[in-house]
Chains A and B, each alone.
Chain A
Amino acid sequence: MVEVNLFDAAFIMSLLAAMLRLSVPIVFTGIGEVIAERAGVVNIGIEGVMLLGAFSATYVAYFTGDAWLGVLIAIIIGILSGYIHGVIAITFKGDQIVSGVGMNMFAYGFTAAWLIIIWGELAAGNSPDVPRIPQISLPLPGAFSSISPFIFLMVLTAVASYYILYKTKFGLRLRSIGENPAAADVAGINVYRIQFIATIIGAVLAAVGGAYLAVDWNSMFVRYMTAGRGFIALATVVFSNWNPLLVLVGGLLFGFADGLQMRLAPALGVGFPPQFLQMVPYVLTLIVVTGAIGRAKPPAAVGKPYEKE
């Protein structure tokens, strides 16, 4: 058992660095879902999309030796997944929740199976090592000496999304669809097209979040590696009141809890059960969703397929 001083500078530094790293997939996926839901489309299949993004990035990185190329391919996979969900939810006006469940199940099965198909029996638990995204070295001590470019990308995405949603023409129209699609329709806006775009953007961001997990945070694909982060991202969406900048905050919060739980358990001694700390994100979500901390106000028409009268 290692005695760790909780207020040791190195400990805090490593915790903060972990917080940043662990928040990335959640923030990307969360922002993507905010965009989709702001246009009225719910996609609970983002957990599966993350997984597919992670897997495709690993695959490409393994065979080409280029991790960034892997991310690019993950983006394409995201476009495909978003398109499929869009067809089911928007074109066919099918059940958005069920479609998400199907996507998740497919992704779980597909990725686990293809691990073995590509890399053989021994890879059942995880793929071999693949090239990692080159980290950026900073003139800072300890845990911050090298940092992933995705941290910057994450912040950039949050700021850009906020700007686009609230300052641009496209953003205004997108938000109007999520609130009152009939009003948007009458104003001459192409509701279905924008919903499709929003859904695809959401899936692309989720795929990127997943890709990060595989070729940056880690350097391999591990079976079921998303471990429910897609659902935590869903929680962050509610927590952030559908605001991309607050998704950043929420993601950092969950990342902090995650990082803490990993370090705290050994710090407090072998006896302390980590499960309670691991529960924190989920309990937090419950509290938020039931409006115990202020009423989170979703887009008024979210989840309802729009039918032109």
Chain B
Amino acid sequence: MSSSLAADMQNIQKTYRDGTVALKGVNFNVREGEIHALIGENGAGKTTLMKILYGLLKPTAGKILIKGKEVNFRNPSDAIKNGVGMVQQHFALVPDFTVVENIVLGSEPCKQRVVIDYKSAVEAIKKLSGETGLHVDPESRVEGLPVGVQQRVEILKMLYRGAMTLILDEPTSVLSPIEVEDFFKILKGLRDKGRTIIFVTHKLKEALQISHRITVMRAGRVTGVVNSEGSTPQILANMMVGREVELKLEKKPVTIGEPLLEVEDLWVRSDKGLFAVKGLNFTVRRGEIFGVAGVEGNGQTELVESLTGLRKVEKGRVKVNGKDVTNAPPNELTRVGVAHIPEDRHKRGLILDFDLAENLILGSQSNAPFGTRFNMSLGTIYDYAQEAIGKFSIVAPSEKVRVKYLSGGNQQRVVVARELGRNPDFIVAAQPTRGLDVAATEYVRTILLKMREGRKAVLLISSDLDEILQLSDRVAVIYEGTFVDVRKPEELTEEKIGLMMGGVKPDS
């Protein structure tokens, strides 16, 4: 491993047009022939940084040097010309095309500049496969291939174009443990042939296993760069999670009551057909906030959707208040007393072009007192909206304003007002404070605590650790579809959670 730098990113800043600061002056470098892990939680900025290196995004400030030469990438083609390739977490493959068509797309070998020379392409691919161990059938269609093989196609795409520095974004998230072992062998082989690998992940053990050095990011900054030799998951978790503590909210002691939500052996599939939730068992009782922590993509979304009538439960049972509601449709769940604060309020929670009042009654438009099956009492609806604005402290010009003009925090208040207005027994809150300012965040958390005091129950799913720790009575950490462990928040430190989020069960 040489000491010359394959890539050197200096003082990179990235601010989006709406003011969000994603990267606050990041220094990141990779040595030639190195396998370098880049770790951090959701929102730390690792993917943003890599997208800049690959030319998908432009930095607001900063310098990038590839092999000592300063570069200015306008698009991925520029990056590839300089030997930098990236395999993103969501593959950029054309499902209908074959492997060879996908690999050559954009860099097609041509006879007479027009006709594609598939034969030479297939030969080149076979040669690469032999060298690297990435075996694929060039003629097969990508659509039917297992995800692990699709990943090989993505990597071959980069290698075919001569990429010497490979960025892999969460590559093992689609692999089984055995496949991961094979994958690491391939990575080592690639490195032996002179390539440099940047490995973006949240999985601490893997980072330690495969890399030479590790860069840790948090909240848009680099918090440390260590050699993996001599480092431990604890050290990494520490750097990853940090000690930012926000407002401490007061949690009163509450007597825990009878079970409100009972989940037995829950199995739910993801969109790709694999199981995202693998046999979860848990109970949430009255007066409890049950928090589920974890890096996104470990099954949380599927869990929430299966409990709110939007995704099929393949196996297992869900009971609310003793009643079996497995696979019940959303309106029945509402009737049984389940409310839902969805994680993407723009896509799922609100109808942006509807006004405040119309959003408030979504789902109740034909129920009393808002109306009957044939008529809505507009007067009652708008009065109710006015009341809600006051009760839930929504800052809005009027109840007739279209919610798309409200700020994120106020939009969330509308969602909360709607869900709580139904007087539910049980709330599923998915990433409820995402994208909200401090005041709105505190507001939402207070509401959840109030639910708890009112002897209702809350299932809180959040990738914000502070939130989980502050609000929950019990905390479960989800990793690849199962709970690594369920503990009381007092028993947990932030390092321990960091470990669990990376798949490691702490000893104590």
Do A and B come into direct contact in the complex, CB within 8 Å?
yes
Q: Is the CB of A188 within 8 A of B114?
A: no
Q: Does A168 contact B (CB under 8 A)?
A: yes
Residue of A172, A179, A182 with highest tally of chain B CB at under 10 A: A172
Interface mask (A175-189 → B, CB under 8 Å = 1, otherwise 0)? 110011011101111
Partner of A300, one of B80, B95, B101, B110: B95
Q: How far is the CA of A182 from the CA of B56 in the complex (A)?
A: 12
Q: Given A169-B108, A187-B105, A188-B76 in contact, is the A300-B96 Cβ separation under 8 Å?
A: yes
Q: Does A132 contact B (CB under 8 A)?
A: no
Q: Is the CB of A180 within 8 A of B94?
A: yes
Q: Does B492 contact A (CB under 8 A)?
A: no
Chain B's closest residue to A166 (CB) is B116
Q: Is the CB of A180 within 8 A of B93?
A: yes
Residue of A169, A170, A179, A189 with highest tally of chain B CB at under 10 A: A169
Contacts of A168 in B (CB 8 A): 114-116
Q: How far is the CA of A173 from the CA of B113 in the complex (A)?
A: 14
Interface mask (B97-118 → A, CB under 8 Å = 1, otherwise 0)? 1000110111110100111100
Q: Is the CB of A176 within 8 A of B97?
A: yes
Q: List 18 A-B contacts (CB under 8 A).
A: A168-B115, A169-B114, A173-B105, A173-B106, A175-B97, A176-B105, A179-B95, A179-B97, A180-B94, A183-B92, A183-B94, A183-B105, A184-B106, A188-B76, A188-B77, A188-B80, A189-B106, A300-B96
Interface mask (B69-92 → A, CB under 8 Å = 1, otherwise 0)? 000000111001000000000001
Q: Is the CB of B114 within 8 A of A170?
A: yes
Beyond the given pairs A170-B114, A183-B93, 13 more chain A to chain B contacts, judged by CB atoms under 8 angstroms and listed by A's residue number, are: A169-B115, A172-B101, A175-B96, A179-B95, A179-B96, A183-B92, A183-B94, A183-B105, A184-B106, A186-B76, A187-B76, A187-B106, A300-B96
Chain A's closest residue to B110 (CB) is A169
Contacts of B92 in A (CB 8 A): 180, 182-183, 186-187
CB distance from B16 to the nearest CB of A (A): 12
Q: How far is the CA of A292 from the CA of B114 in the complex (A)?
A: 38
Chain B's closest residue to A167 (CB) is B115
Interface residues on B, range: 20 to 34
CB distance from A180 to the nearest CB of B (A): 5
Chain B's closest residue to A164 (CB) is B114
Contacts of B93 in A (CB 8 A): 180, 183
Contacts of A186 in B (CB 8 A): 56, 76, 92
Contacts of B110 in A (CB 8 A): 169
Q: How far is the CA of A179 from the CA of B95 in the complex (A)?
A: 8
Contacts of B97 in A (CB 8 A): 172, 175-176, 179
Q: Given A188-B106, A189-B106 in contact, is the A169-B94 Cβ separation under 8 Å?
A: no
CB distance from A7 to the nearest CB of B (A): 44
Interface mask (B181-194 → A, CB under 8 Å = 1, otherwise 0)? 00000000000000
CB-based closest 6 A-B pairs: A187-B106, A188-B77, A183-B92, A169-B108, A179-B94, A186-B92
Q: Is the CB of B106 within 8 A of A167?
A: no
Q: How far is the CA of A187 from the CA of B157 in the complex (A)?
A: 10
Chain B's closest residue to A182 (CB) is B92
Contacts of A189 in B (CB 8 A): 105-106
Q: How far is the CA of A172 from the CA of B110 in the complex (A)?
A: 12
Partner of B108, one of A172, A183, A297: A172
Residue of B56, B105, B110, B114 with highest tally of chain A CB at under 10 A: B105
Q: Given A176-B94, A179-B96 in contact, is the A184-B105 Cβ separation under 8 Å?
A: yes
Q: How far is the CA of A180 from the CA of B102 in the complex (A)?
A: 11
Q: Is the CB of B116 within 8 A of A167?
A: yes
Contacts of B95 in A (CB 8 A): 179-180, 300
CB distance from A270 to the nearest CB of B (A): 51
Q: How far is the CA of A289 from the CA of B267 in the complex (A)?
A: 36
Contacts of B105 in A (CB 8 A): 172-173, 176, 183-184, 187, 189
Partner of B116, one of A169, A179, A183, A187: A169
CB distance from B316 to the nearest CB of A (A): 32
Chain B's closest residue to A169 (CB) is B108
Within 8 A of B (CB), among A109-152: none
Q: How far is the CA of A179 from the CA of B94 in the complex (A)?
A: 6
Q: Is the CB of B75 within 8 A of A188?
A: yes
Chain A's closest residue to B80 (CB) is A188
Chain B's closest residue to A187 (CB) is B106
Q: How far is the CA of A187 from the CA of B102 in the complex (A)?
A: 10
Q: How far is the CA of A189 from the CA of B104 in the complex (A)?
A: 12
Q: How far is the CA of A182 from the CA of B108 in the complex (A)?
A: 18
Q: How far is the CA of A187 from the CA of B96 in the complex (A)?
A: 16
Q: Is the CB of B116 within 8 A of A172?
A: yes
Q: How far is the CA of A167 from the CA of B77 in the complex (A)?
A: 23
CB distance from B52 to the nearest CB of A (A): 14
Q: How far is the CA of A36 from the CA of B493 in the complex (A)?
A: 58
Q: How far is the CA of A187 from the CA of B160 in the complex (A)?
A: 12
Chain A's closest residue to B116 (CB) is A169
Chain B's closest residue to A309 (CB) is B56
Q: How far is the CA of A170 from the CA of B97 in the complex (A)?
A: 15
CB distance from A67 to the nearest CB of B (A): 32
Contacts of A180 in B (CB 8 A): 92-95
Contacts of A175 in B (CB 8 A): 94, 96-97
CB distance from B449 to the nearest CB of A (A): 38
Q: How far is the CA of A300 from the CA of B110 in the complex (A)?
A: 26
Q: How far is the CA of A95 from the CA of B75 in the complex (A)?
A: 29
Contacts of B113 in A (CB 8 A): 169
